[in-house]
Amino acid sequence: MVKGRRADAINYLITQGVNPASAGAQLCAQGTIVTQYLANISWPNGQTVVPGCPTIHVQESSDGKSLLAQLTTAPIKHYIETLEFEGLPVVGEVQAKNPFALIEDATREAVIDAMTEAQTVTLLTTEGSMVLPLMRKSASTLVKLVDGEGLDHARRGEGRISIGTEKRFSIHAQTQDGPFKTHARHLRTDDAGTGLQNRTGFSYTPPSLPRVAPGSFDPSHASLRACIVRGMELVNETIKQVRTKAVRPKLRLTKEANDCLQHMAIQSRQAAQSYPPFLRTYLSRHAERALREAGSHHLFEYGIQGEITLATMQMADRFSADSFNAFCVLTDEQPKLTKQEDNALTLESLIYAQAIYFGPRLSVTKLRSLTVNIGLTKGQFNAALPLLCIQGKVYVERDWLYYVPLMANGWPRLSS
C-alpha cells in the first residue's frame, strides 16, 4: 500500500463522505500542476514522458466540485498568483517573472498566449463544458504540448511563433454529466482528439445521496495542509529550476517497477483487442497513463531523489484502470432503435391502450384502422406487428391479437 501526504488526504476526505473518485481527481490535478516541470520519466528503453496526466472529472452540479477545489488546487493557485518577483536579480538570461500560468479560458488562443509567456501552463477549471470542444478542435496542438514536444510554428494572431520543448502544459477540468454527454459521442470516433483523450485520466462520480453537509470539511486538517505546503515547496523548486536553467533530471524505475510496467503494457494491449476501436486505442495507452501518474506521485512525495518503486507503479496501475472504467461508463451509449423497432413501440402503445379498455383480445382489423391516429401507415403497421410477435409481446391468430402482458394466464390456448 502506498503511503504519503496524498494518501492521507484522500483517506481524510473519504471519511468526510467524499467520493474517492472526486478526491483522487483533485489531488492528481494538484500534483500535476506542481510536478510537471521538474523531471522527465523514463521508459525502460530510455524514452521519456512528462509526469502527470491531464484529467477530466464528471459529477453532478450539487456534489461539491468547487468545495473540493477550494481545499486542494485553489490554495496552490493563490500561492502562485501572489508570488512576488519584483526586485529579484536576473540569473543568466532568465527574467524575474512568474514561470507559472493557471488559466480558465478554454480556447486555443489563450493556451498559445500563456505558453509564450510562462514555462508551465495549466488549464484549470471547475466549469469544464468548454474543454471537450477544445480537445476536439485543437487536438493536434494540445497533444504536442501535453507530451512536451513543443511547437515549431504555432499560429498567433497574424504571425507564427515557436514553443520550446522545455515548456509544460496540462489540462484539469471538472464538468457535469449533462454537458459531458453532449460531447461524449465525439469521443467514440476513432479520430476523436487525435490521441489526446487517450492520454487523459477520466473519473466519474455517479449521483448519490449527500453524505456530508457543505462546508463541513476542515480546511486546516493536517493531511490537507501537508499537501498544500508540499505543493508550495515544489512551486519554489520549479522557480529555482527555471531561473538557474538547470538540466531537467530523468526519473527511473526500480527493476521490479520496470517489470510491472512491461507486464502491464503487454496485458493491456492484449485485452484491448476485444473492445471497440475507440476503447481499444484508449486501453492501449494504459501503461503510459500509469507511468505519467507514477512519476507525478513520486515527485510530489519524494522529489527528484530515488527511483519509482513497485508500490507506486501498482498504485498508478489502479489509477489508469479506474480511468478506463470511467471512460467506458461516460462514453456508453444505448444503441439507437431502428425505424421498425421505433414503430413497434408506437404500435404497442396503441395496443396497450386498447387492451386496458377492451381486454387483451383485440381485432387486428380494428387496430389497423386505428393506426392513422398514431401516425403509422398500413405498411409500417404490417412491418411492426411481426416484430412484436417475435418479442413475445403479442400473439396473432386469424384476425385476433392477444396482448400477452395483460393476459392473466399468459399465452392464449391455441384453437384447433
Digit-coded pLDDT (tens) for 312-327? 999 999 999 999 999 9
Distances (CA, A) of 302 to 226, 312, 315, 392: 13, 11, 15, 64
Task: List, in sequence order, every residue forming a beta bridge with 103; answer none if it has no partner.
Answer: 123
**Between the ranges 83-92, 119-128, 302-311, where is the mean pLDDT highest?**
302-311
**pLDDT value at 74 more than 50:** yes
**364 vs 1: which has the higher pLDDT:** 364
**pLDDT value at 107 more than 90:** no
Exposed/middle/buried for 404, CB within 10 Å: 0-12, 13-18, 19+? middle
pLDDT score for 93: 45
**pLDDT value at 210 more than 70:** no
Digit-coded pLDDT (tens) for 260-304? 999 999 999 999 888 888 888 899 999 999 999 999 999 999 999
Strands 400-403, 394-397: pairing is antiparallel
Mean pLDDT of 173-200: 75
* Residues contacting residue 354 through CB under 8 Å, at least 6 positions apart: 362, 367, 370
**pLDDT value at 363 more than 90:** yes
pLDDT averaged over every residue in the chain: 85
Q: Which residues of 87-96 are buried (b: 16+ CB within 10 A; e: fewer)?
A: eeeeeeeeee
pLDDT score for 177: 81
- Asked whether the CA dihedral 139, 144, 145, 146 is positive or negative, the reply is positive
**114 vs 64: which has the higher pLDDT:** 114
Mean pLDDT of 346-372: 92
**How far is residue 413's CA from residue 415's CA, in Å, rounded to a whole number?**
6
DSSP 275: S
Q: Rounded to 5 degrees, what angle do the CA atoms 406, 408, 412 make?
A: 85
**pLDDT value at 408 more than 80:** no
Number of C-beta neighbours around residue 132 at 10 A? 23
pLDDT grade for 415, boundaries at 50, 70 and 90: very low
**pLDDT value at 198 more than 80:** yes
Task: Yes or no: say if 138 and 193 are a contact pair by the CB < 8 Å rule.
Answer: no
pLDDT grade for 90, boundaries at 50, 70 and 90: very low
pLDDT score for 315: 93
User: Of 289, 307, 286, 290, which is closest to residue 298 (Cα–Cα)?
Assistant: 307
Mean pLDDT of 143-165: 74
**How far is residue 71's CA from residue 25's CA, in Å, rounded to a whole number?**
13
Digit-coded pLDDT (tens) for 27-42? 999 999 999 999 999 9
Distances (CA, A) of 176 to 54, 65, 131, 142, 197: 17, 9, 12, 23, 18
Mean pLDDT of 88-92: 44
Least confident among 126-135, 194-203, 265-274, 282-291: 126-135
| Residues recorded for the chain | 416
